[in-house]
Homo-oligomer: A and B are copies of this chain.
Amino acid sequence: MSYAAPVKDMLFVMKELADLERIAALPGFEDANLDTAQAVLDEAAKFNGEVLAPLNFEGDKNPSAWRDGEVTTTPGFKDAFRQFSDGGWQGVMHPVEYEGQGLPKLIATPCIEMLNAANMSFALCPLLTDGAIEALLTAGTDAQKQLYVPKLISGEWTGTMNLTEPQAGSDLAQVRTRAEPQGDGSYKLFGTKIFITYGEHDLAKNIVHLVLARTPDAPEGVKGISLFLVPKFNVNADGSLGDRNDVQCVSIEHKLGIKASPTAVLQYGDHGGAAGYLIGEENRGLEYMFIMMNAARFAVGMQGIAVADRAYQKAVAYAKERVQSRPADGSAKQPVTIIHHPDVRRMLATMRTLTEGARSLAYVAAAHSDLARHLPDEKARASHQAIYEFLVPIVKGWSTEMSIDVASLGVQMHGGMGYIEETGAAQYYRDARILTIYEGTTAIQANDLIGRKTMRDGGATAQALLAQIDQTIAALAEREGQPFASMHRHLSAGSLSLARTIEFVVAKVKSDPNAVFAGSVPYLKLAGIVLSGWQMARALLAASDKRAEDESFYSAKIATAQFFAEHVLSMAPGIEASIVSASGDQGILALREDQF
């Protein structure tokens, strides 16, 4: 059940597709050269492989447990968290002035992938802490930043995001938690929050809850939501801990997977009110929450890639070891390891190409985020920011949807053994299943892709990406050989399908919103397939140029890209047909409620 981070693959994507060299030349990233990247990734691979990966199965067998309001994490987690913190891993991409390492998101991203591949349940704690840090850096006062951020980065404390309530899932307009001003600048909070990841645990001395709530005179709906900081233990001005605050963990959930990660029900204010502090301005809470949510959504996309890679590695190991049946082509008279069977090869190649495609797109997105934050030119920054924001719902939605399929293939690859929990393949199938749900379901991502990301600029960002794809298609046309021919054929067809779908979305969303939103998730998947396929095409071009330098490595990249073209990109026209069907939404909405 080991995990070996694919550092070489990661560096290939960073250098050849995400232009690490350019990122490293940005102002503020003077120390982030190729050597730094290599060193950080090697160190991360070592730590995650040796310390966290072995605890993953243990966390599934021996999950977090609740008793009398307190949560005990899996044996070994506490020590691992101390090592994680001491290693400075929480701070990789956070500012140096708050004790972070200030590295580009492009370097932090493979670290996040490794962390999640090694141990997704563990990784959720830092993931949420990242979100809290991001929100404080965006909207907190200087005093709040000074008081909280360094301790979150050092791992002394951890952070949470408190959005969901029993009646308010995806629809935050329904949030009812109350925040009453106390006259001294502080508030008292009252309400129930559910599904709070690491809402209670024993890994750190304090927990900094970021909580959506309403002040007494707030307007209805999402425009009346504010963001509050509620520490588990009150914090004195010097940063030392005071009394226990009035927030209690009343239970944790019994879940399908990520069992080591405690999912808490938190009760605020049952004993007079939980002391809370406004972050930023009143009624702008949703806006701040979206900042941390965008970061978290990207990170959840990385979780998909991570669990897919872990499932792939496990499947490969089994396929190379399990002996069963003679080969179909009669090339051996005795049973062979199953990796020699064509269907096993197809499953492994599918797992591999989906994972590499999603990884490539995500790392490229991370580079856009770095460019958007660090390029000197404002207009260039805005353009990269628009691309990054366009890609976030796709990275989140597509990487997680494919991760379920990949983890499922991982079970299938093991035959009957895959269904036995001791084998470990089933854990990835269970763990992956949350990823298309939390931090916004795939439908929510798809609505974001249509509404904020495609429509708001009239499709301009989408068109800009399509124009870049055309350049890649032109480059493919100049090369010879089957991999290029296959990729040219399927990327051309795929990008045409995506272009026509975007046209349909832009043209119809006002006049026939049901027709458009009925195809929202297929549109997201189509975009995921075509944009990942585009990155695989770029990888194909790069690998072909370098082939002589490292035949085995680059020929594998070429074969994996060709496989993506023929087996994944080839599905694009069918998805287009299902979105832009002759009948619009009638096929979906023709059935009345009572007919279901």
**Chain A interface residues toward B at CB < 8 A:** 164, 167, 169-171, 173-174, 194-195, 253-257, 316, 319-320, 323-326, 328-330, 335, 337, 339-346, 348-349, 352, 404, 408, 411-412, 415-416, 418-422, 426, 429-430, 433-434, 436-438, 441-443, 446-447, 482, 485-486, 489-490, 513-514, 517-521, 552, 555-556, 558-560, 562-563, 566-567, 570-575, 577-578, 581-583, 585-596
A207 to chain B, nearest CB (A): 21
Contact A521 B343 (CB under 8 A): yes
- Contact status of A422 and B254, CB under 8 A, knowing A325-B171, A587-B563: yes
Contact B514 A328 (CB under 8 A): yes
**Complex Cα–Cα for A426 and B253 (A):** 14
- Contact status of A441 and B415, CB under 8 A, knowing A343-B520, A552-B594: yes
Contact A328 B429 (CB under 8 A): no
**Complex Cα–Cα for A538 and B420 (A):** 41
A148 to chain B, nearest CB (A): 27
**Complex Cα–Cα for A173 and B595 (A):** 51
A102 to chain B, nearest CB (A): 35
**Complex Cα–Cα for A518 and B575 (A):** 23
Contact B421 A438 (CB under 8 A): no
Contact B552 A566 (CB under 8 A): no
Which chain B residues lie closer than 8 Å to A563 at the CB level? 587-588, 590
Can you name 23 A-B pairs with beta carbons within 8 Å?
A169-B324, A171-B324, A194-B416, A254-B420, A255-B420, A256-B419, A337-B593, A341-B517, A342-B518, A342-B585, A342-B589, A343-B446, A412-B441, A419-B433, A419-B438, A482-B583, A490-B577, A555-B595, A559-B587, A559-B590, A563-B588, A571-B571, A573-B574
Contact B345 A416 (CB under 8 A): no
Contact A418 B437 (CB under 8 A): yes
Contact B591 A421 (CB under 8 A): no
- Contact status of A256 and B514, CB under 8 A, knowing A171-B324, A404-B408: no
A283 to chain B, nearest CB (A): 20
- Contact status of A436 and B412, CB under 8 A, knowing A588-B563, A591-B556: yes
Contact A577 B588 (CB under 8 A): no
